[in-house]
């Protein structure tokens, strides 16, 4: 399976409305524990979803596979893609590198990622995520990982201006218990976790979830192990001709969220922005040209 191809999760979500009641029950069961749910025997999958074996066979054919073995083979390819190291990703790209300048090839890949991501995102889910992040009555915690901490910091910086009552959880696991001490039911955790998923991030999510917090997850097309715990998952395509994955599409979603959140309580946000500008003026931090 080429990395740019649709994932099985994408196919299932596209086909949901065309499935019978039993097939939809099966599909939702697969998505609930994706992708591990589809790796066992056909009979075990049918039993877990409380459907018949023929229902499993029919649904995988509706997804475009000849049978369950083909379905599982592609699922295993997805798993291999999930855990690729930067060196392995570069070797895969280098073997099939198309002609043309890297600027064009990279840009084409990013545009394709954006189109695919926007084609599959749930607008209602995105709006719900923005409403949670915007709610000043909920304490907002923002956390990233080894690479994604840069996007977490970017979101946090803007949320500092837009709303009060928030915390940037530093990406060092030995300090997380201190942040969780004050987290409670209804608080919101925005978590960034992309492939080469981090065990510490999953543990943080488990602890936050156990305390009744709501979780908004930014992840990739394969979905972080945090996904089953998340109230809302925002998945982005991340594959580009590089040894590293692209953050461009995820950043697009982050900046769109910033724009949406600032508008939900604009009067309060405008007042905070003006107060911040007054502070900047008093410190002469920025030069002003007249």
**CATH classification of the domain holding 44:** 1.10.10.10
Number of domain units in the chain: 2
Residues 230 and 124 in one domain: yes
What's the pTM value of the predicted model, to 2 decimals?
0.71
| Domain final residue pick, 38, 58, 83 | 83
Rounded distance between C-alpha atoms, residue 253 and residue 80, angstroms: 26
Residue 114 inside a domain? The answer is no
Domain encompassing residue 147? 119-282
Cα–Cα–Cα angle for 199, 201, 202, nearest 5°? Answer: 65
Q: In what order do the strands lie in the sheet with 232-236?
A: 166-169, 140-143, 188-192, 214-220, 232-236
Residue 93 predicted with pLDDT over 60? no
Higher confidence at residue 39 or residue 21?
21
Q: For residue 12, what pLDDT band results from cuts at 50, 70 and 90?
A: confident
Residue 231 inside a domain? The answer is yes
Mean pLDDT of 114-126: 88
Mean pLDDT of 36-43: 81
Higher confidence at residue 173 or residue 146?
146
Residues 167 and 228 in one domain: yes
Q: What is the DSSP letter of 163?
A: -
CATH number of the domain enclosing 235: 3.40.50.10490
Residue 109 inside a domain? The answer is no
Residue 123 inside a domain? The answer is yes
Residues 265 and 131 in one domain: yes
What confidence score (pLDDT) does residue 44 get? 87
Least confident of 11-15, 143-147, 170-174, 245-249: 170-174
pLDDT tens, 236-245?
A: 988 888 888 8
Mean pLDDT taken over the chain: 85
Higher confidence at residue 13 or residue 264?
264
Residue 267 inside a domain? The answer is yes
pLDDT tens, 192-215?
A: 999 888 888 999 999 999 999 999
Task: Compute the chain's Rg from CA coordinates.
Answer: 21
Phi and psi, residue 44, nearest 5°: -65, -40
Residues 141 and 199 in one domain: yes
Residues 252 and 141 in one domain: yes
- Burial class, 24, CB count within 10 angstroms (exposed 0-12 / middle 13-18 / buried 19+): middle
Which of 13-17, 18-22, 43-47, 162-166 reaches the highest mean pLDDT?
162-166
On whether the CB atoms of residues 116 and 9 are closer than 8 A, the answer is: no
Residue 266 predicted with pLDDT over 70? yes
pLDDT > 90: what percent of the chain?
38
Residue 106 inside a domain? The answer is no
| Domain final residue pick, 83, 98, 132 | 83
Which stretch of DSSP H or E encloses residue 277?
A: helix 266-283
Residues 71 and 178 in one domain: no
Residue 102 inside a domain? The answer is no
Residues 230 and 143 in one domain: yes
């Amino acid at each position: 399976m080429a990395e740019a191809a649709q994932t099985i999760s994408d196919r299932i979500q596209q086909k949901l409305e065309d499935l019978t009641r039993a097939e939809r029950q099966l599909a939702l069961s697969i998505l609930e524990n994706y992708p591990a749910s589809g790796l066992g025997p056909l009979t075990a999958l049918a039993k877990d979803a409380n459907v018949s074996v023929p229902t499993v066979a029919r649904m995988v054919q509706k997804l475009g596979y000849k049978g369950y073995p083909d379905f599982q083979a592609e699922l295993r390819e997805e798993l291999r893609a999930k855990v690729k190291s930067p060196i392995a990703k570069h070797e895969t790209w280098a073997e099939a590198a198309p002609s043309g300048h890297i600027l064009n090839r990279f840009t084409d890949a990013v545009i394709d990622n954006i189109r695919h991501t926007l084609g599959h995102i749930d607008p209602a889910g995105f709006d719900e995520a923005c409403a949670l992040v915007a709610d000043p009555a909920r304490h907002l915690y923002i956390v990233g990982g080894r690479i994604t901490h840069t996007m977490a910091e970017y979101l946090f910086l803007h949320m500092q201006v837009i709303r009060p009552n928030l915390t940037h959880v530093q990406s060092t696991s030995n300090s997380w218990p201190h942040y969780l001490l004050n987290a409670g039911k209804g608080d919101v955790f925005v978590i960034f976790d992309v492939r080469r998923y981090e065990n510490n991030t999953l543990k943080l999510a488990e602890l936050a979830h156990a305390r009744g917090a709501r979780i908004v997850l930014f992840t990739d097309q394969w979905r972080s192990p945090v996904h089953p715990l998340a109230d809302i998952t925002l998945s982005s395509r991340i594959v580009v001709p590089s040894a590293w994955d692209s953050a461009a599409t995820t950043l697009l979603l982050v900046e769109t969220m910033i724009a949406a959140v600032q508008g939900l309580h604009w009067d309060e946000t405008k007042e905070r922005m003006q107060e911040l500008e007054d502070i900047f003026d008093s410190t002469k931090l920025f030069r002003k040209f007249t």
